[in-house]
Amino acid sequence: MPNITLNSVVKTYGGKSLAVDNLTTTFPSGEFICLLGPSGCGKTTTLRMIAGLERPDSGEIRFGDEVFYSSQTGTYLRPEKRKLGLMFQSYALWPHMTVEQNVVFGLAMKRMPREDQAKRFTELAKLFHLDGLGQRYPRELSGGQQQRVALARMLAVSPDLLLLDEPLSNLDASLRLEMRAELKRLHQTLGCTVIFVTHDQLEAMTMATSIAVMNKGRIEQMAKPMDIYRHPSSHFVANFVGSPPMNMLTPGEAPGLASEMTKILGTPADRAGTVGIRPEALRLTGQPANGGLKATIDTIQPTGADWIIGLQAEGRQLFALSSEPPPADIGAEVGLNLKADGIHAFDQNGKAVGP
């Protein structure tokens, strides 16, 4: 199966608002890629250009050797000519059609014989747990069932590429969990390429084989989820991925803590602009060691499985995350131990710096 390639793709709206800024990247075939980033960073525009729903200003988009779009040759392949499955937040099933009619709609349009359509529906109904629901109408289904019908409809035509724009955002937490597992399983079974737009880092971390973190119309970093988390290439990525977010110290803030962090990292102090530490890398001890780092507990938020502990250290608010209850109560002074693998440094331009 071919890769998706974007070459110097630019997209502006109304000739001035730059949505996608000279984007060059390859989405390898067979991957589950999550485009992750804050609102307005250009995720949806990127997806819509790959789908053919939005025309770039310039650049090139290819699916293997097949040119979807090229400003140089003037090529523009219409969406229906690109062999892909699309699913958006509003997955809009046809209300006047039964589940079966909805699912086989694309096949009927392609004039597949009725018998074969019915066979395909049986296969898909099994895959998406829709057995016995074929003759119902969308209004007679739960939200999760509707979502599964939309997925089955998208997959009925055996697309090589699935483009999904926040398809889980209308679901409640438990259904979302179920659908995340379902989509992941589906990707593993079908082996097709998936490009999934989300601003939800948990969705990206749990489902993707590769996360592309977007910022201001560009991809900041593309890597495996755990690599994004453990080795963020920039301040932006480090700040965006992780909950609670990484504790960031700009130069001059909490100097005792900051210099301990650069010492552990081995980063020359003059190269590090900002230093950051993951909340789970801040370990609390009951008694501050002599001459060691200390902080005062100011809030305690139990989440059930973990505790988010608010701290004041050298006039700075920090958050620690622990699977153990805090060693003391609010107002108490505690010691701080720092775990080396959760510490990061960034230069004046926000790029990660190593030792």
Whole-number Å distance between alpha carbons of 65 and 137: 41
> Per-residue x/- mask for ligand ATP, residues 83 to 102, rule CB under 6 A?
--------------------
**Residue (57 or 160) nearer to ligand ATP, CB:** 57
40 binds ligand ATP (CB under 6 A): yes
* Beta-sheet strand order (sheet of 218-223): 84-87, 161-165, 193-198, 32-36, 210-215, 218-223
Binder of ligand ATP out of 13, 24, 92, 268 (CB under 6 A): 13
3-state secondary structure of 183: helix
Distance between terminal CA atoms of the chain? Answer: 40
Whole-number Å distance between alpha carbons of 192 and 195: 10
Contact region with ligand ATP (CB under 6 A), list: 42-50, 77-85, 142-150, 280-288: 42-50
Q: Which 45-74 positions form the footprint of ligand ATP (CB under 6 A)?
A: 45
- If binding means CB under 6 A, how many residues of this protein chain bind ligand ATP? 13
Helix axis angle, 143-156 relative to 114-127, nearest 10°?
A: 130
State the minimum distance, in angstroms, from the CB of residue 289 to ligand ATP. Answer: 46
Task: Evaluate whether 213 touches 225 at the Cβ level (below 8 Å).
Answer: no
Cα torsion angle, 255, 259, 260, 262, sign = positive
Q: Which 278-337 positions form the footprint of ligand ATP (CB under 6 A)?
A: none
215 binds ligand ATP (CB under 6 A): no
42 binds ligand ATP (CB under 6 A): yes
Binder of ligand ATP out of 44, 71, 147, 221 (CB under 6 A): 44
275 binds ligand ATP (CB under 6 A): no
Task: Evaluate whether 301 touches 343 at the Cβ level (below 8 Å).
Answer: no
Q: Hey, what amino acid is at 240?
A: F
DSSP 157: T
> Per-residue x/- mask for ligand ATP, residues 180 to 209, rule CB under 6 A?
-------------------x----------
211 binds ligand ATP (CB under 6 A): no
10 binds ligand ATP (CB under 6 A): no
Closest CA to 326 of 298, 292, 355: 298
State the minimum distance, in angstroms, from the CB of residue 87 to ligand ATP. Answer: 15
Task: Evaluate whether 297 touches 328 at the Cβ level (below 8 Å).
Answer: yes
**Residue (43 or 176) nearer to ligand ATP, CB:** 43
| Binding footprint of ligand ATP on the chain (CB under 6 A) | 13-14, 17, 19, 37, 39-45, 199
